[in-house]
Amino acid sequence: MSTQMDIHAILESLPHRYPFLLVDRVLSLEPGKRIVALKNVTINEPFFPGHYPHHPVMPGVLIIEAMAQAAALLSFQTLERKPDEKSVYYFAGIDGARFKRPVTPGDQLIIKVELTRSMRGVYKFKAVVEVDEQLVAEAELMCTVKTVA
């Protein structure tokens, strides 16, 4: 079964908030398998005035963060839980990150993340980001949910 999520459901399922929330909608989600999400990139993004004023480009680290947020949504839906004040979703590793072309205002990121492995609370994902069906970035991510005091 494939699920969609609007921004209200995303806000209930991720602890991130403006200006760091980088997923606008979930187009499909199959718990334990994969997610397809989107991020609309506008000139109003807070990072564009400094990166770069003469040719605005979305920082690659934020593209990776968008992948991780989509992975977190997939993880929380797979675990059938929501984040709370006692849990934090952390990166455990990033491998094979590659950037194929710049992301600029007006682009719509399509973020595709597949869960490839889950063992003892550590999740491994293969993630790709596309704009207009062209590969923009790819990476393998490892993440975990930790309980904090």
| Residues taking part in catalysis | 51
Please give the helix or strand (H or E) that residue 70 lies within, else none: helix 60-79
Contacts with 37 (C-beta within 8 Å, 6 or more apart), sequence order: 23, 24, 25, 26, 27, 66, 69, 70, 73, 110, 111, 113
What token pair was written down for 99?
């950037």
| 127 φ, ψ (degrees, to nearest 5) | -130, 140
